Amino acid sequence: MGMFTGKKGLILGVANDRSIAWAIAKTIMNEGGTCGFSHLPDRPDDDRQRNRRRVEKCLEGYDDKIGFLMPLNVQNDEEIASFMEKARQEFGTIDFLLHSIAFADRDDLRRDTIDTSRAGFQLAMDVSVYSLIAVACAAKDLFAEGASVCCMTYFGGEKCVPGYNVMGICKAALDATTRYLAYDLGPQGVKVNALSAGPLKTLAGTAAGVGDMLKLYEQIAPLGRNVTHDEVGRIGAFLLSDMSSGITGDIIHVDAGYHMMGSPGRMLDRLKDATG
């Protein structure tokens, strides 16, 4: 019997097999859970349905653990309502909801924060932050007693990480949203937490310049290495399980300890050795 045996819930944000959402979903299904998945809507002219096919490829071999797979545009309230209605039809109630969705226009990510466009700021906040409120609200009547919500954040919302720019502001807002939703849903026994992962090679990570960050974390993190998809997947599953029943409104870091450092640590020692 696994940690998620008899549990069912929703996974929003799998793009491909390198997605953090997939690492978490895979852990949940391996532990006996059943998941309903969203995928990015495909363009009407995309006969190959590339977004759907990428997620379907991930799901191969998990047929008995898949409740449904359907497109979801989190900027469209009607689509969110339809997605939750599908969840109601398939599951009745849900025990967990993973929100792993963020987006900013590449041009705005490349700009200094001070040069962020108004339209780009609104787009990034709508997709990356308001969508958590929207899906949690749409799901509030579906949550079983003791259900869990988890979203994906990053250290750039707590401290300035040059290059993360407007997305850092979005993550700060997402962190605050996590706390306020934890308060709102607390009377239902629903907990809401955020998982802050170190840099990983994902689609979003590539857009944010993860290559340089991987080198930096390896040098500064107390464990002297980067984290893996599997490590993040296990902690994400933990936050969505009954095992974390006493934790809500929190940010759990999975970054080999990088976030707690107040100086470059051993990296500074190496620099001293290199310069004599």
For helices 266-275 and 210-220, angle between their N-to-C axes, nearest 10 degrees: 90
pTM attached to this predicted model: 0.94
The active-site residue, picked from 62, 130, 154, 180, is 154
Mean pLDDT of the chain: 94
Q: Would you say residue 211 has pLDDT above 90?
A: no
pLDDT tens, 45-71? 877 899 999 999 999 999 999 999 999
pLDDT at site 48: 85
pLDDT at site 37: 98
Q: Where are the alpha helices (DSSP H) in the chain?
A: 20-30, 50-59, 77-91, 106-110, 118-125, 131-139, 166-185, 203-207, 210-220, 229-239, 266-275
Q: Would you say residue 273 has pLDDT above 70?
A: no
The active-site residue, picked from 164, 180, 183, 217, is 164
Is 180 an active-site residue? no
Hey, how many other C-beta atoms are within 10 angstroms of the C-beta on 204?
Answer: 21
pLDDT tens, 218-235? 999 999 999 999 999 999
Q: Would you say residue 208 has pLDDT above 80?
A: no
Q: Which residue has the tokens 């290495």?
A: 225
pLDDT at site 274: 62
Contact (CB, 8 A) for 130 and 137: no
pLDDT tens, 244-267? 999 999 999 999 999 999 988 887
Q: Where are the alpha helices (DSSP H) in 31-76?
A: 50-59
The band of 201, judged by pLDDT with boundaries at 50, 70 and 90, is confident
Lowest-pLDDT choice from 63-72, 189-198, 264-273: 264-273
Burial of 18 (0-12, 13-18, 19+ CB in 10 A): middle
Is 130 an active-site residue? no
pLDDT at site 204: 60
Domains of the chain, with CATH numbers? 8-275 (3.40.50.720)
Lowest-pLDDT choice from 191-195, 206-210, 234-238, 251-255: 206-210
Contact (CB, 8 A) for 166 and 207: no
Q: Would you say residue 270 has pLDDT above 80?
A: no
Q: Would you say residue 175 has pLDDT above 70?
A: yes
pLDDT at site 272: 65
Contact (CB, 8 A) for 144 and 95: yes
